[in-house]
Amino acid sequence: MQTDFTPAQLADPQMAASAAVIRKCVHCGFCTATCPTYVLLGDELDSPRGRIYLMKDMLENGRIPGPDVVKHIDRCLSCLSCMTTCPSGVNYMHLVDHARAYIERHYRRPWAERAMRALVAAILPYPARFRAALALARRARPLAPFFARVKPLRPAAAMLHLAPAHLPPKAALNAGTAPGPRGRVVLMQGCAEPVLRPEIRAATIRLLERCGYQVSFAAGETCCGALTHHMGKEHAALHFARRNVDAWTREIETGLDAILITASGCGTTIKDYGFMLREDPVYAAKAAKVSALAKDVCELLEASGLPARADIPALNVVYHPPCSLQHGQKITAAPQNLLRAAGFAVRLPADAHLCCGSAGTYNIFQPEIAAQLGARKAESIAALRPDVVATGNIGCAVQISQAMQAPVLHVVELLDWATGGPAPGAG
């Protein structure tokens, strides 16, 4: 695509990077067929190609975006399915991340929207605040139908709806201390996952130790920054990224084989720290090192192999691939291979490439589209009559659980059980 950025615009590294992304797009439109919002809404402006045109026009002309442009960019899930489909290698992720930060700087949202976004950004990345908010949400749940009737308050209704009826007790943050013959890894502690499903981390530690790894937690770690990054809150996202780079650099200096992540949404962002901090003279090299060491837990497990199998029932598992794992990190086979090696029968639902509608805070800020995508995903999974659904991202697990009877577990919970750990829900 021809671009017309001025030399002065291109002197800004972010603008230069976006111009390079836009130039790669040959507007073939292959990406439209695999874009969840285009599939649902059928509007070119809700397709990757349409959004690229909107972002090009906004950035190239230095326009203050209007509500119509913001609406179509906000409706993008950042699922990155378009990047998997694109034959020209368009890095849509970097372009939309830049566009969101640009919108945040130049567009004044209605006050209710601003307040809701500020609230989410002030709560979700902090486990203690998130836990307190969930406890409050349980009591406020009867207000959800009222909030749902008032358009600006629909995100509040969505939050109340997503809050679990029962919150697991706070789990102690104990990493394994035994030295591991295979090496030492840091397990990212995360923010939402340990509050909603602490058993995922417990299963991961048991499994990694059984595989021969010493598992550590890094002091000073925070949220990965993905939630604020996807809201265009660049300053906050980079602050989280720098704190994590500092925390993990201290671990790297004492000898580290990998930084492991169990929530693939976080993994995609951490693997991008090198790009996000590339212009920061203090952090660029350290961030690149952190990104190079970041691995999804299934990546490491596939490379190291599973321990011997225990005697467990051969369940029918439907694997839901999170977008951040299959499109963001291009990890598709590893979770399925591991589940099969552990003795499970594994199937993929129809349209496995389409997002379930979770997408970070998407199911809060775009509840109608998210609900349609969630129902569609639940239907295609239920058609396979699973005993259990396996996935690799807490957001997907919460979203799919809303519409499914079958238990929705993290892949590591099944692998832990299959190699000697407690049955999920029992340990």
Output 32 or 228, the one with its CB closest to ligand SF4.
32
Q: How far is the CB of 269 from ligand SF4 (least distance, A)?
A: 14
Burial class from Cβ neighbours inside 10 Å (0-12, 13-18, 19+) for residue 54 reads buried
Q: How many CB atoms lie within 10 A of CB 21?
A: 23
Q: How far is the CB of 109 from ligand SF4 (least distance, A)?
A: 20
Q: How far is the CB of 39 from ligand SF4 (least distance, A)?
A: 9
Q: How far is the CB of 29 from ligand SF4 (least distance, A)?
A: 5
Output 3 or 337, the one with its CB closest to ligand SF4.
3
Q: Which tokens go with 40?
A: 């649902």
Q: Which tokens go with 258?
A: 């990998």
DSSP string, 68-113: HHHHHHHT-----HHHHH-TT---HHHHHHHHHHHHHHH----HHH
Output 72 or 410, the one with its CB closest to ligand SF4.
72
Choose the stretch contacting ligand SF4; rule: CB under 6 A; options: 76-84, 107-115, 171-179, 201-209.
76-84
Encoded one letter per residue, x for contact with ligand SF4 by CB under 6 A and - for no contact, window 80-119 reads xxx--xx-x-x-x---------------------------
Name which position in 79, 120, 261, 408 contacts ligand SF4 (CB under 6 A).
79
Confirm or reject binding of residue 78 to ligand SF4 (CB under 6 A).
Answer: yes
Q: Which DSSP helix (H) or strand (E) runs through 194? A: helix 192-196
Confirm or reject binding of residue 411 to ligand SF4 (CB under 6 A).
Answer: no
Confirm or reject binding of residue 266 to ligand SF4 (CB under 6 A).
Answer: no
Q: Assess contact for 421 and 207: CB atoms under 8 A.
A: yes
Name which position in 15, 45, 58, 77 contacts ligand SF4 (CB under 6 A).
77
Q: How far is the CB of 331 from ligand SF4 (least distance, A)?
A: 17
Choose the stretch contacting ligand SF4; rule: CB under 6 A; options: 73-81, 166-174, 186-194, 306-314.
73-81
Of 29, 34, 26, give the one whose Cα is nearest residue 2: 26
Question: Which residues have a Cβ under 8 Å from the Cβ of 118 and sit 6 or more positions away?
Answer: none
Question: Which residues have a Cβ under 8 Å from the Cβ of 142 and sit 6 or more positions away?
Answer: none
Q: How far is the CB of 238 from ligand SF4 (least distance, A)?
A: 21
Half-sphere exposure of 93 (CA within 13 A, CB side): 20
The whole-angstrom separation of Cα 182 and Cα 165 is 40
Does residue 296 sit in helix, strand or coil?
Answer: strand
Choose the stretch contacting ligand SF4; rule: CB under 6 A; options: 72-80, 145-153, 216-224, 294-302.
72-80
Q: How far is the CB of 193 from ligand SF4 (least distance, A)?
A: 23
Q: State the number of binding residues for ligand SF4 (CB under 6 A).
A: 25
Question: Which residues have a Cβ under 8 Å from the Cβ of 180 and sit 6 or more positions away?
Answer: 208, 209, 212, 213, 214, 215
The whole-angstrom separation of Cα 298 and Cα 220 is 25
Q: Which tokens go with 414?
A: 């099944």
Choose the stretch contacting ligand SF4; rule: CB under 6 A; options: 74-82, 166-174, 224-232, 419-427.
74-82
Q: Assess contact for 327 and 36: CB atoms under 8 A.
A: no
In degrees and rounded to multiples of 5, residue 94 shows phi and psi of -65, -35
Q: How far is the CB of 14 from ligand SF4 (least distance, A)?
A: 19
Of residues 21-50, those binding ligand SF4 (CB under 6 A): 25-31, 35-37, 48-49
Q: Which residues bind ligand SF4 (CB under 6 A)?
A: 25-31, 35-37, 48-49, 51, 76-82, 85-86, 88, 90, 92
